[in-house]
């Protein structure tokens, strides 16, 4: 999680103080649009940084997934409700931080559920296009599953280097047959066929399956950690 360093409550100067993440957002590092490169220049990049390697992307995704799992295992559970590539920040060493908790809320106890928290009822739509789970619109509820859905889309965005809106539909064939996922992986960043397949299987579990078949984040996290660790070992050897 991006740590909160301080606050100012003076009406004319109200603010929250966070560390400056000089690596920019994951979204800017992936898309590298003119606006993104301008923001990176403001952070100190004199020249456009090279594209993030597959290993670097996996490390950042692992860090963000760990942060989300941390929120979900608090008592009471905290739902982030706005996970996206734009809300994952990088420091100068390439470590990832889950940020922007403006929409985060504690979950509610389920009626008849022995006081266990599971979801948050909502009457309004929130989050970013492409990252919003249909469960939010159909059930008026945010939950671990809807946070997991947004993380799954973020994994797919990182694999493909493409925008989130319509991405699940655009990658439908690969999601149906993950062993073909190398075909949707961003070129020239070092994705192996095995990495692309495993990451796609995580996307399927988190964001593509029907509600009752979704993969819990607690199950997806060790697999993502294993992917990141293996990729780091290969990169060090190279």
Active site residues: 82
Q: What secondary structure does DSSP assign to 117-173, as a single string?
A: EEEEE-SS--S-TTT--HHHHHHSEEEHHHHHHHHHHHHHHHHH---STTHHHHTHH
Are the C-beta atoms of 37 and 48 separated by less than 8 Å?
A: yes
Q: Name residues whose C-beta falls within 8 Å of residue 207's C-beta, 6 or more positions apart in sequence.
A: 133, 148, 149, 150, 151, 152, 153, 156, 168
Q: Is 221 exposed, middle or buried (0-12, 13-18, 19+ CB in 10 A)?
A: middle
What's the token pair of residue 26?
A: 């994951």
């Amino acid at each position: 999680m991006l740590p909160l360093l301080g606050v100012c409550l003076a009406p004319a100067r109200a603010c929250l103080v966070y560390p400056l993440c000089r690596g920019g957002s994951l979204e800017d590092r992936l898309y590298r649009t003119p606006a993104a490169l301008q923001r990176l220049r403001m952070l100190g990049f004199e020249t456009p940084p090279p594209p993030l390697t597959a290993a670097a992307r996996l490390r950042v995704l692992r860090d963000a997934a760990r942060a989300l799992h941390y929120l979900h295992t608090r008592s009471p559970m905290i739902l982030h409700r706005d996970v996206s590539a734009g809300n994952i920040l990088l420091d100068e060493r390439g470590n990832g931080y889950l940020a922007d908790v403006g929409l985060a809320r504690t979950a509610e106890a389920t009626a008849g559920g022995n006081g266990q928290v599971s979801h948050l009822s909502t009457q309004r739509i929130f989050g970013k296009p492409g990252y919003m789970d249909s469960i939010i619109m159909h059930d008026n509820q945010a939950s671990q599953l809807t946070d997991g859905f947004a993380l799954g889309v973020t994994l797919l965005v990182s694999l493909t280097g493409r925008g989130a809106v319509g991405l699940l539909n655009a990658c439908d064939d690969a999601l149906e047959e993950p062993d073909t996922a190398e075909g949707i992986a961003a070129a020239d960043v070092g994705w192996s066929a095995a990495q692309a397949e495993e990451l796609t299987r995580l996307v399927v579990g988190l964001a593509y399956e029907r509600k009752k078949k979704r993969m819990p984040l607690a199950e997806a996290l060790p697999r993502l950690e294993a992917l990141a660790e293996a990729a780091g070992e290969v990169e060090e050897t190279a």
